[in-house]
Chain A
Amino acid sequence: MFDKEKFEQLKEARKNWEEKDLNKSLSRSPERKEEFKTGSGDIVERLYTPEDIDDLDYMEEIGLPGQYPYTRGYQPTMYRGRLWTMRMYAGFSTAEESNKRYKFLVDQGSTGLSVAFDLPTQIGYDSDHPLAEGEVGKVGVAIDSLADMEILFDGINLEKVSTSMTINSPASVLLAMYIAVADKQGVSPEKLRGTIQNDILKEYIARGTYIYPTEESMRLITDIFEYCSKNVPQWNTISISGYHIREAGSTAAQEVGFTLADGIAYVEAAIKAGLDVDSFAPRLSFFFNAHNDLLEEVAKYRAARRLWAKIMKERFGAKKPQSMMLKFHTQTGGSTLTAQQPDNNIVRVAIQTLAAVLGGTQSLHTNSKDEALALPTEDSVRIALRTQQIVAHESGVTNTVDPLAGSYYVEAKTKEIEDKAMEYITKIDELGGAPRAIDAGYIQKEITDAAYKYQMDVEKGDVVVVGMNKFKVTEKAPQGLLKVDPMVGEMQKKKLVELKEKRDNQAVTEKLTALKKACEGTENVMPYIVEAVREYATLGEICDVMREVFGEYEQSVML
């Protein structure tokens, strides 16, 4: 990458520098530590120079923004054209309460919605299911039927807003409800913009809201790919998520490696189901974490973009540039927040916001300072959103494309993460692909090993967490945390009783019977689910039909 003669001069100068300047400095005052490490525990060298990136071919590996391999971003102008979507993940209690929070967020300058569902909804149980007890409305909004969904989006124009829904196993049902609500607003499916998470593999790995076994889950996902490519063409049909893998304790390189390995599995499943790679790949999207090690994180996003482009082009023979572009949402790292001195979390989130933006994210959720303690209050959410707005409008980092490109360290780190991620992908290929590697517990064990090592480093004090294992103070219990009304469960149960009295129960039975037949055969199930939700069949009823046909996933318990 550099002029040969100049390069030799540098090598010589470096040698001299090490012998004289550096040694003198070290003998006068040694460095603070023997080894310096990234947040993921990788060694960081004292100095990076052109020597560290000499074997990188600029045009092949870095290139120009909007051009393969998209290391510098997938658009030519990036944030000079349009800022990222400021998308705050929110939802709790009832649809009525959450609808209020969405309107507040839009009012405060949020540019996209992001729906958090409660655990019973995410696992396909209605609020009156025995296993739902104590969980209704707690970590997200409770949605039992189209009736709740109508309230959730009341007064929000679905033609104007883009909506992300964190829903996986029952993604088909919630998407069907969204389509049905839009229809009632007079908005046709081809105008809808948004994302469903729909990433079952990382549920088995790290997040836990699975329902059906692997193969049947993969079928549901490819059914959605196919249905949306024809009917909801602007919808991102999956958000392949490294976020939860990282939260479970993985390193940055594992986050990239395991996430792209999951991505490969989805592409393979869809191709196997007969879809053309360029018909669905442009609608694949990704979701990454942002932790505190700013430069490692920036390198991570750049590495992921480059590696995915190569995989799509070389491994799957994609032709459309859009199929090779890795577009991603970012959320700041929940596990980096401390319950101690929670105001410090505002600073962590600001650093993580910078990482995501310098890494070229397409949308961003920033966590609130109180999230190690409870769901966030309106005031703390406002600060989290303001953090994005300050980075967007005051920091200046949005003025030029991929500003850290060319940093010897960042480019070397980008390459290192790409190589390490590729090693994981190769290992997973050898195990027969991501689904098999998950069944064998390989991915889970790698993550748990990394998490345990980190935990021990924190406990030994090798890793400093400000306010938690260093710079501690005696604190009063935090005040003014958000509390979810404990009566939500009862309210939802009452709504369900009323719904079942009001709706056309015979039509519901007919639609559910038709859905069951489709599940037993090979037809695409999506149209049947859309029909069933329109008649107000509940989420639990629909998921029960599929449970009956598909069975349930059994977790391989790994320590």
Chain B
Amino acid sequence: MDKPIRVLVAKPGLDGHDRGAKMIARALRDAGMEVIYTGLRQTPEQIVAAAIQEDVDIIGMSILSGAHNHLFPKVIGLLKEQDAEDIMVIAGGVIPEDDIPALKEAGVAAIFTPGALTTEIVQFIRDNVKR
């Protein structure tokens, strides 16, 4: 039998809005994935360390505070530094359309904005995680 997909759901930065992160975490769990949720106020360093330690396939980050342009690329940079680029990164939150191309360029595989369905996110992960 296939090993279940392992996901780290993380809240980087100082933002306390965790409704979205918790909804995604529960939905992924209900879809049969193994989910680790970090809780609030994680630094990029903490997120990358947790992802490597927990041997996850994918990191999902949520930011609603506007700090995404700073924090998402930082996590990806640290993953590269630690030879953990095989861990896919997806993101969600209040991310203006204008910021999305640069974030994708930086290596965020997909960005889900308000109104996205959890089923879409589950499907994206199943279709794209490298096993």
A and B: bona fide binding partners: yes
Measured CB to CB, the nearest residue on chain B to A123 is B14
A249 B40 Cβ-Cβ under 8 A: no
- What is the bound-complex CA distance between A47 and B88, given in angstroms? 53
Q: B94: CB under 8 A from chain A?
A: yes
- What is the bound-complex CA distance between A122 and B14, given in angstroms? 9
- What is the bound-complex CA distance between A141 and B87, given in angstroms? 36
Measured CB to CB, the nearest residue on chain A to B39 is A557
Q: A399: CB under 8 A from chain B?
A: no
Given contacts A119-B13, A134-B67, contact A338 B114 (CB under 8 A): yes
Name the one of B14, B29, B37, B119 contacting A131, with C-beta atoms under 8 angstroms. Answer: B14
B40 A452 Cβ-Cβ under 8 A: no
Measured CB to CB, the nearest residue on chain B to A203 is B16
Residues of A contacting B26 in the complex (Cβ-Cβ under 8 angstroms): 448, 452, 559
Residues of B contacting A340 in the complex (Cβ-Cβ under 8 angstroms): 115
Stretch from A230-238, A307-315, A417-425, A476-484 that touches the partner: A476-484
B19 A138 Cβ-Cβ under 8 A: no
Residues of B contacting A132 in the complex (Cβ-Cβ under 8 angstroms): 14
* A337-376 interface code vs B (CB 8 A; 1 in, 0 out): 0111000000000000000000000000000000011110
B115 A481 Cβ-Cβ under 8 A: no
Q: B71: CB under 8 A from chain A?
A: yes
Q: A271: CB under 8 A from chain B?
A: no
A138 B65 Cβ-Cβ under 8 A: yes
Name the one of B15, B19, B70 contacting A249, with C-beta atoms under 8 angstroms. Answer: B19
B96 A374 Cβ-Cβ under 8 A: yes
B16 A208 Cβ-Cβ under 8 A: yes
Name the one of B16, B29, B39, B66 contacting A209, with C-beta atoms under 8 angstroms. Answer: B16
Measured CB to CB, the nearest residue on chain A to B120 is A459
Nearest CB of A to B8, in Å: 13
Name the one of A125, A139, A477 contacting B66, with C-beta atoms under 8 angstroms. Answer: A139
Residues of A contacting B17 in the complex (Cβ-Cβ under 8 angstroms): 208
Residues of B contacting A481 in the complex (Cβ-Cβ under 8 angstroms): 96, 98
Question: Which residues from 32 to 50 on chain B have a C-beta closer than 8 Å to any C-beta of chain A?
Answer: 35, 37-41, 43
Residues of A contacting B39 in the complex (Cβ-Cβ under 8 angstroms): 555, 557
- What is the bound-complex CA distance between A24 and B104, given in angstroms? 60
Nearest CB of A to B78, in Å: 14
Residues of A contacting B67 in the complex (Cβ-Cβ under 8 angstroms): 134-135, 138
A134 B70 Cβ-Cβ under 8 A: yes
Q: B23: CB under 8 A from chain A?
A: yes
Measured CB to CB, the nearest residue on chain A to B114 is A339
Name the one of A207, A468, A484 contacting B16, with C-beta atoms under 8 angstroms. Answer: A207
Given contacts A135-B65, A339-B114, contact A119 B14 (CB under 8 A): yes
Q: A-side binding surface: helix, strand, loop or mixed?
A: loop
Given contacts A134-B67, A135-B67, A340-B115, contact A374 B19 (CB under 8 A): no
Nearest CB of A to B27, in Å: 8
Nearest CB of A to B48, in Å: 16
- What is the bound-complex CA distance between A248 and B40, given in angstroms? 14
Nearest CB of B to A334, in Å: 9
A559 B22 Cβ-Cβ under 8 A: yes
Q: B-side binding surface: helix, strand, loop or mixed?
A: loop
Q: A455: CB under 8 A from chain B?
A: yes
A478 B19 Cβ-Cβ under 8 A: no
Residues of A contacting B123 in the complex (Cβ-Cβ under 8 angstroms): none
**Total cross-chain contacts (CB, 8 A):** 96
Q: How many residues of B contact A (CB 8 A)?
A: 36
- What is the bound-complex CA distance between A439 and B119, given in angstroms? 32
- What is the bound-complex CA distance between A249 and B19, given in angstroms? 7
Q: A426: CB under 8 A from chain B?
A: no
Residues of B contacting A483 in the complex (Cβ-Cβ under 8 angstroms): 96
- What is the bound-complex CA distance between A468 and B115, given in angstroms? 6
Residues of B contacting A262 in the complex (Cβ-Cβ under 8 angstroms): none
Q: A133: CB under 8 A from chain B?
A: yes
- What is the bound-complex CA distance between A437 and B43, given in angstroms? 28
Q: A23: CB under 8 A from chain B?
A: no
- What is the bound-complex CA distance between A134 and B69, given in angstroms? 8
Q: A335: CB under 8 A from chain B?
A: yes
B23 A131 Cβ-Cβ under 8 A: no
- What is the bound-complex CA distance between A5 and B49, given in angstroms? 75
Name the one of B13, B22, B94, B114 contacting A448, with C-beta atoms under 8 angstroms. Answer: B22
Nearest CB of A to B43, in Å: 7
- What is the bound-complex CA distance between A348 and B16, given in angstroms? 25
Measured CB to CB, the nearest residue on chain A to B64 is A139
* A102-145 interface code vs B (CB 8 A; 1 in, 0 out): 00000000000000000110110100000111110011000000
Q: B117: CB under 8 A from chain A?
A: yes
Q: A451: CB under 8 A from chain B?
A: yes
Given contacts A131-B14, A135-B13, A557-B37, contact A459 B115 (CB under 8 A): no
Question: Which residues from 469 to 497 on chain A have a C-beta closer than 8 Å to any C-beta of chain B?
Answer: 477-478, 481, 483-484, 486
- What is the bound-complex CA distance between A484 and B114, given in angstroms? 20
Q: A255: CB under 8 A from chain B?
A: no
Residues of B contacting A335 in the complex (Cβ-Cβ under 8 angstroms): 19
B96 A373 Cβ-Cβ under 8 A: yes
B40 A372 Cβ-Cβ under 8 A: no
Name the one of B70, B98, B115 contacting A339, with C-beta atoms under 8 angstroms. Answer: B115
B37 A248 Cβ-Cβ under 8 A: no
B97 A478 Cβ-Cβ under 8 A: yes
Q: A247: CB under 8 A from chain B?
A: yes
A372 B14 Cβ-Cβ under 8 A: no
Given contacts A248-B19, A338-B114, A557-B38, contact A134 B13 (CB under 8 A): yes
- What is the bound-complex CA distance between A483 and B94, given in angstroms? 13
B40 A555 Cβ-Cβ under 8 A: yes
Name the one of A135, A451, A478, A486 contacting B23, with C-beta atoms under 8 angstroms. Answer: A451
- What is the bound-complex CA distance between A468 and B70, given in angstroms? 29
- What is the bound-complex CA distance between A120 and B70, given in angstroms? 15
- What is the bound-complex CA distance between A481 and B115, given in angstroms? 18
B66 A372 Cβ-Cβ under 8 A: no
Measured CB to CB, the nearest residue on chain A to B74 is A134
Q: List 5 A-B contacts (CB under 8 A).
A: A131-B14, A134-B67, A208-B17, A448-B26, A559-B29
- Lowest 3 CB-CB distances: which A-B pairs, in order? A208-B16, A134-B70, A138-B66
Knowing that A135-B67, A139-B65 touch, tell me 18 more A-B residue pairs with CB under 8 angstroms. A125-B14, A133-B70, A135-B66, A138-B67, A206-B16, A208-B40, A335-B19, A339-B114, A451-B19, A452-B26, A452-B27, A455-B118, A459-B119, A477-B97, A478-B97, A555-B39, A557-B39, A559-B35
